[in-house]
Structure 1
Amino acid sequence: MKFSLAKKTAIITGGGSGIGKSISLTFAAQGAEVHILDLNIEAAKETVLEIEAGNGRAQAHLCDVANQKNVNEIIQKIAQQSSIDILVNNAGIAHVGTIETTEEADMDKLYNVNIKGVYNCAKACISEFKKNKGGVILNLASVASCVGISDRFAYSMTKGAVLTMTYSIAKDYIKDNIRCNAIAPGRVHTPFVDGFIQKNYPGKEDEMFEALSKTQPIGRMGKPEEVANLALFLCSDEAGFITGINYPIDGGFISLNS
Structure 2
Amino acid sequence: MLGPVDATDLGITLAHDHLVFDGTFMYVDPPDGADQHLADEEITLDNRGWVAYHWTSNHHNVSLDSEAVAIAELGRFLAAGGRTIVDPTNLGLGRDPEPVARIAEATGAQIILGAGYYLSGTHPDDMDDRSVDDLALEIVSDVREGIDGTGVRAGVIGEIGCTYPWLPNEKKSLRAAVAAQVETGAPLMVHPGRDPMSPVEIAEIVDSEGGDLSRTTICHIDRTCTDRSWLADMAATGCYLEYDLFGNESSWYPP
> Structure 1 length normalisation: TM-score?
0.34
Higher relative contact order structure (alpha carbons within 8 Å, sequence separation ≥ 6): 1
> Structure 2 length normalisation: TM-score?
0.34
